């Protein structure tokens, strides 16, 4: 048997498959880039005789985390800047992207990739305006590159749609080994309705995931309710952005009135979603990607009720805020805000589900990432947890005190040894 085909068995105090119950003194077996066995350590060792074995004491083995929203090329930008107002951020980020070269964007992306791996993230949704970069070809990450569509001028809709089609053709011709494409519509206020419809048609033909920033700030609510406010004035400097034909209570109601929410869409932020919004989105089986740090800074709140009424359709993202890609830190913020003594473990399970199984489903990767089972891709993370924990406490332990030790992506280990 060649080295590449050698089965490797990793055992730990616990294996947390996410798709099934935790396994005490568990193990997983990896051959190539696939998981070939999961179960109690002695059973896996008996079935996988002749393979190499590695013991991970004081740790949990769990699926690699999925960062549902990031801007990796802006990592260096965020290292040097901090904003409390979303419009200030949008202006500065736009100027930064226009002024720096591809080498700087590539360097920022590499820095973001390293941060992801360091924090146990093996898959990331990376919003991108620049097209493919050299870092995409050697990234130790599974990337979903969301090509960001921006175009508030109705007259530019055709040229922007052609831009999107060119980017996607380039991606298909030169697709990096572990990358997939998606369409990221910036927001209803930065994409004209003509361009929005064109982009949805492109995504539909290619069967790509669609995502958009939505219901993020009070300024956005003011835009749909009154057609006035700081957001409208900002957009009018770029274009003659049309006011909605009538006032709506929320951006979600506006999109539904125009039939512009596709099935399975990913709504990023959703900071100000109402119960009616959540019901409308549920009809479309949409997912909601929460970015706790970003939501608190720019939206001034966290929609805590979402975890209780839509936990299987929630994702978690970092939004690259402060150049951090620490998804467990984002999970801790959410757990601290949502949990009490009576529901801590239930809430922790829902949050960790958002970082794994639910995110995989939203991205069309269910069964490949987000859970540990035979046939899944070998993307997993070793999380050290001090002390002794019972099975129903493990998700809480990972979020509260977990520390990433080693990451396996596509069958290759990063950090912590062979």
Tens digit of pLDDT for each residue in 288-313?
A: 999 998 888 876 777 666 666 666 78
- pTM greater than 0.75: yes
Identify which of 247, 290, 253, 300 has the alpha carbon closest to the alpha carbon of residue 275: 253
Lowest mean per-residue pLDDT among 75-84, 195-204, 239-248: 239-248
Locate tokens 């109705």: which residue? 154
CB neighbours of residue 308 within 10 Å: 12
Fold of 65-362: TIM Barrel (3.20.20)
Assess whether pLDDT exceeds 90 at residue 238.
Answer: no
Assess whether pLDDT exceeds 80 at residue 120.
Answer: yes
Q: Which two tokens stand for residue 193?
A: 């309705």
Strand partners, 184: 148, 211
The H-or-E segment that residue 122 falls in is strand 121-128
Helices first, then strands: H and E counts in the chain: 16, 15
Instruction: Give me the chain's average pLDDT, please.
Output: 89
The H-or-E segment that residue 114 falls in is helix 102-118
CA distances from 363 to 209, 253, 268, 357 (A): 6, 24, 13, 10
Question: Is the CB of residue 219 less than 8 Å from the CB of residue 87?
Answer: yes
Structure confidence at residue 2 as a pLDDT band (50, 70, 90)? very low
Same-fold call for 3-63+370-414 versus 65-362: no
In whole angstroms, what is the distance from residue 262 CA to residue 196 CA? Answer: 11
Tens digit of pLDDT for each residue in 241-257?
A: 556 666 788 999 999 98
Tens digit of pLDDT for each residue in 11-25?
A: 999 999 999 999 999
Structural domain spans, the chain: 3-63+370-414, 65-362
Tens digit of pLDDT for each residue in 339-365?
A: 777 788 989 999 999 999 999 999 999
Assess whether pLDDT exceeds 90 at residue 372.
Answer: yes
DSSP assignment string, 283-342: HTT-EEEE-HHHIIIIIS---TTHHHHSGGGEEE--TTGGG---HHHHHHHHHHHH--TT
Identify which of 215, 384, 230, 233 has the alpha carbon closest to the alpha carbon of residue 300: 215
Assess whether pLDDT exceeds 50 at residue 3.
Answer: no
Assess whether pLDDT exceeds 90 at residue 232.
Answer: no
Assess whether pLDDT exceeds 50 at residue 418.
Answer: no
Q: Between these two residues, 211 and 312, which has the higher pLDDT value?
A: 211
Q: Which CATH architecture has domain 3-63+370-414?
A: Roll (2.30)
Structure confidence at residue 189 as a pLDDT band (50, 70, 90)? confident
């Amino acid at each position: 048997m060649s080295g590449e085909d050698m089965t490797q068995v990793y055992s730990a105090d616990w294996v947390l498959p996410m798709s099934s119950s935790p396994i005490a003194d568990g193990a997983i077996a990896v051959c190539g880039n696939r998981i070939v066995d999961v179960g109690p350590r002695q059973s896996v060792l008996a079935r996988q005789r002749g393979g190499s074995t590695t013991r991970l004491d004081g740790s949990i083995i769990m699926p690699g985390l999925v960062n549902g929203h990031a801007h990796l090329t802006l990592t260096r930008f965020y290292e040097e800047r901090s904003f409390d107002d979303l419009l200030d951020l949008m202006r500065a980020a736009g100027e930064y992207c226009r002024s720096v070269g591809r080498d700087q964007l590539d360097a920022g992306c590499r820095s973001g990739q390293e941060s992801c791996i360091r924090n146990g993230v093996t898959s990331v949704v990376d919003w991108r305006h620049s097209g493919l970069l050299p870092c995409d070809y050697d990234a130790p990450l599974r990337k979903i590159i969301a090509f960001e569509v921006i175009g508030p001028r109705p007259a530019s809709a055709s040229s922007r749609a052609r831009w999107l089609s060119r980017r996607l053709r380039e991606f298909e011709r030169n697709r990096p080994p572990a990358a997939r494409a998606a369409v990221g519509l910036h927001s209803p206020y930065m994409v004209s309705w003509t361009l929005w419809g064109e982009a949805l048609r492109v995504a539909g033909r290619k069967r790509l995931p669609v995502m958009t920033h939505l219901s993020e700030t009070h300024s956005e609510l003011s835009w749909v309710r009154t057609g006035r406010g700081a957001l409208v004035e900002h957009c009018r400097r770029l274009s003659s952005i049309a006011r909605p034909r009538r006032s709506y209570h929320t951006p979600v109601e506006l999109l539904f009135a125009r039939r512009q929410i596709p099935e399975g869409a990913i709504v990023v932020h959703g900071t100000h979603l109402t119960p009616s919004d959540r019901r409308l989105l549920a009809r479309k089986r949409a997912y909601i990607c929460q970015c706790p740090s970003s939501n608190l800074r720019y939206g001034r709140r966290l929609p805590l009720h979402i975890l209780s009424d839509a936990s299987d359709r929630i994702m978690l993202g970092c939004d690259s805020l402060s150049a951090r890609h620490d998804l467990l830190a984002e999970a801790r913020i959410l757990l601290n805000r949502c949990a009490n003594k009576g529901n801590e473990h239930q809430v922790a399970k829902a949050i960790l589900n958002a970082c794994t199984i639910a995110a995989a489903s939203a991205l069309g990767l269910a069964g490949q990432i987000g859970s540990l089972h035979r046939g899944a891709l070998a993307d997993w993370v070793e999380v050290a947890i001090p002390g002794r924990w019972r099975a129903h406490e493990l998700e809480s332990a990972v979020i509260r005190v977990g520390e990433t030790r080693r990451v396996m992506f596509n069958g290759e280990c990063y950090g912590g040894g062979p």
